[in-house]
């Protein structure tokens, strides 16, 4: 039986979320990040797809120069998000409620 969820696709999905999903735990390692993005681009080429057909924010993902910059900034952005969210969770855990959970659901899934 299918389970309904109240989670909707987020139209303003940030690029770092997409990149983090692609590279996974390798976001901290610049060389591994580049390797994972390169593998992803090869997979797209093998499937005869273009990156902007997958998501508009991935339009320049397979450009080597831009890919390098994306990996460099990804580590900083993900670390910042994790640190700020960790602080937020400390206050939320002091007074847990359904509203707090729903509000933080997307970031919890990301982490």
Cα–Cα distance for residue pair 7/91, rounded to 1 Å: 23
- The pTM is what? 0.69
Cα–Cα distance for residue pair 94/92, rounded to 1 Å: 5
Per-residue pLDDT reduced to its tens digit, 60-110: 888 888 888 888 889 898 888 888 888 888 887 787 777 777 777 766 666
Domain edges within the chain: 15-110
Q: What 3 state SS string does 43-103 have? A: HHHHCCCCHHHHCHHHCCCCCHHHHHHHHHHHHHHHHHHHHHHHHHHHHHHHCCCHHHHHH
Query: Which among 48, 54, 49 is positioned nearest to 19, based on CA atoms?
Result: 54
Tally of CB atoms within 10 A around 4: 5
Tell whether the torsion through CA atoms of 43, 48, 52 and 53 is positive or negative: negative
Per-residue pLDDT reduced to its tens digit, 16-28: 888 888 999 998 9
Phi, psi of 19 (to 5 degrees): -65, -40
């Amino acid at each position: 039986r299918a389970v309904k969820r109240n989670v909707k696709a987020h139209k303003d999905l940030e690029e770092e979320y997409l990149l983090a999903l692609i590279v996974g735990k390798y976001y901290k390692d610049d060389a591994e990040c580049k390797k994972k993005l390169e593998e992803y681009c090869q997979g797209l080429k093998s499937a005869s797809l273009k990156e902007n057909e997958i998501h508009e924010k991935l339009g320049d993902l397979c450009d080597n120069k831009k890919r390098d910059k994306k990996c460099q900034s990804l580590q900083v952005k993900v670390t910042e998000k994790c640190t700020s969210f960790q602080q937020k969770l400390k206050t939320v855990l002091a007074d847990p409620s359904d509203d707090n959970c729903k509000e933080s659901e997307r970031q919890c899934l990301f982490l």
